[in-house]
């Protein structure tokens, strides 16, 4: 793989209507603001200098500029990723992208998405600023998901914990369960669209998914890639999968009258203990992936009758 050297100075044309948001965000990110002549402002912190000129020209430089552009400027202000993800090697042939969300979250569903885009659709995804869902806030995910759902063919499989736990007991392995779900989504969307090419964000040895496709007699040319979400169609699938997870988690929270947190952290453990204390241990079967070791830790800490 050839590494493309980034220029030492990044420039872009900015809609001046975004200037107040940009300045306020930079203050909140710890930048020091000054107002040199011919500029609206210049913002500086260690490793990054960001200057917006009266003409609308935005100039960013410094050793830490690439990270600043990738994680803040492009997703939050520019809405495009031409700097961090140039499209020279972009696959613009029509294909299906696949990704999942929720597999590392104790509470909430496991969600798998297959999404189809042709060459024009891939270009539109780039214009929309679509990128791996991990790069966006929850609010941005939900907004982007609404746009993507309105414009693309897709299949989402959402396994709420009751069904997930039943399937896990059958497969006895998360990767095999994921392979079955990805194959199901891919088979459905391939049949709807006629597309026989797909890219999957690889999560296991390739034979795991290949075996699931054979079992379902699905004939699709599937490429499994590490960092597959660099493909915009896979990235769009990751956004819809994440949105399905967030919406599913909210649905479960409303059903039981208790806010269920994301992840599998100490915060989740604490919430689980409170939940079991309020509603009893059986509630976990409905809202959580019960093969996680988190379940045992919660039950060990929850008050006993």
Same domain, 208 and 279: no
90: in domain:
no
So what's the pLDDT on residue 83? 72
Q: Is a pLDDT exceeding 60 seen at residue 1?
A: no
Same domain, 121 and 243: yes
The answer to whether 35 and 11 have CB atoms below 8 angstroms apart is no
Other C-beta atoms within 10 Å of 126: how many?
A: 19
Residue 2: DSSP 8-state: P
88: in domain:
no
**Across residues 177-190, what is the average pLDDT?**
97
**Across residues 55-75, what is the average pLDDT?**
90
- For 74-78, 113-117, 146-150, 244-248, which range has the lowest pLDDT when averaged over its residues? 74-78
**Across residues 252-266, what is the average pLDDT?**
94
Alpha helices (H) along the chain: 19-28, 65-68, 119-127, 138-151, 161-171, 174-193, 206-215, 232-256, 266-279, 283-287, 293-301
Give the residue with greater pLDDT, 111 vs 230.
Answer: 111
Residue 69: DSSP 8-state: I
Taking Cα atoms as reference points, which of 96, 90, 141 lies closest to residue 118?
96
Q: What span, in angstroms and rounded, lies between the C-alpha atoms of 225 and 229?
A: 8
Instruction: Please tell me the total count of domains within the chain.
Output: 3
Q: Is a pLDDT exceeding 50 seen at residue 169?
A: yes
So what's the pLDDT on residue 141? 93
Same domain, 49 and 104: no
4: in domain:
no
Same domain, 236 and 280: no
154: in domain:
yes
The residue segments making up the domain with residue 292 are 258-301
197: in domain:
yes
Q: Is a pLDDT exceeding 90 seen at residue 46?
A: yes
Q: What's the pLDDT band for 102 if we cut at 50, 70, 90?
A: very high
Q: Is a pLDDT exceeding 70 seen at residue 269?
A: yes
- Which of 233, 251, 269 is the last residue before a domain boundary? 251
Q: What span, in angstroms and rounded, lies between the C-alpha atoms of 294 and 299?
A: 9
So what's the pLDDT on residue 220? 95
Same domain, 103 and 233: yes
CATH code, domain carrying 173: 3.30.420.10
86: in domain:
no
87: in domain:
no
Share of the chain above pLDDT 70, in %: 94
User: Which residues fall within 8 angstroms of residue 44, CB to CB, at 6 or more apart?
Assistant: 31, 32, 34, 50
Same domain, 163 and 224: yes
Same domain, 229 and 103: yes
180: in domain:
yes
Q: What are the residues facing 110 on neighbouring strands? A: 159
Alpha helices (H) along 131-231: 138-151, 161-171, 174-193, 206-215
Same domain, 113 and 65: no
So what's the pLDDT on residue 212? 96
Same domain, 169 and 283: no
Same domain, 106 and 234: yes
So what's the pLDDT on residue 81? 66
Strand pairing class (95-101; 197-201): parallel
Q: Is a pLDDT exceeding 60 seen at residue 2?
A: no
Same domain, 171 and 74: no
So what's the pLDDT on residue 88? 43
């Amino acid at each position: 793989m050839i590494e493309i050297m980034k220029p030492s100075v990044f420039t872009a044309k900015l809609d001046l209507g975004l200037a107040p948001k940009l300045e306020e965000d930079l203050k909140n990110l710890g930048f020091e603001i000054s107002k040199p002549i011919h500029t609206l402002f210049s913002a500086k912190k260690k490793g990054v200098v960001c200057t917006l000129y009266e003409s609308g020209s935005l100039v960013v430089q410094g050793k830490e500029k690439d990270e600043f552009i990738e994680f803040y400027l492009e997703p939050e202000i520019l809405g495009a990723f031409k700097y961090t993800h140039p499209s020279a090697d972009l696959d613009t042939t029509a294909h299906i992208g696949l990704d999942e969300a929720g597999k590392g979250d104790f509470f909430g569903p496991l969600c798998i998405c297959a999404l189809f885009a042709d060459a024009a659709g891939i270009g539109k995804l780039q214009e929309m600023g679509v990128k791996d869902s991990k790069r966006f806030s929850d609010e941005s995910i939900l907004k982007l998901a609404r746009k993507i759902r309105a414009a693309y063919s897709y299949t989402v499989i959402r396994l709420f914990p009751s069904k997930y736990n039943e399937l896990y007991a059958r497969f006895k392995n998360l990767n095999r369960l994921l392979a079955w779900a990805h194959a199901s989504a891919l088979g459905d969307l391939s049949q709807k669209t006629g597309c026989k090419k797909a890219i999957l964000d690889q999560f296991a040895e390739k034979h795991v998914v290949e075996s699931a496709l054979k079992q379902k007699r699905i004939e699709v040319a599937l490429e499994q890639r590490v960092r597959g979400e660099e493909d915009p169609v896979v990235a769009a699938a990751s956004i819809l999968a994440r949105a399905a997870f967030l919406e599913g988690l909210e649905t479960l929270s409303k059903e039981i009258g208790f806010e269920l947190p994301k992840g599998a952290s100490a915060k989740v453990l604490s919430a689980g203990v409170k939940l079991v204390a309020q509603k009893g241990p059986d509630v976990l079967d409905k809202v959580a992936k019960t093969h996680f070791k988190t379940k045992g830790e919660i039950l060990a800490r929850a008050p006993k009758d």
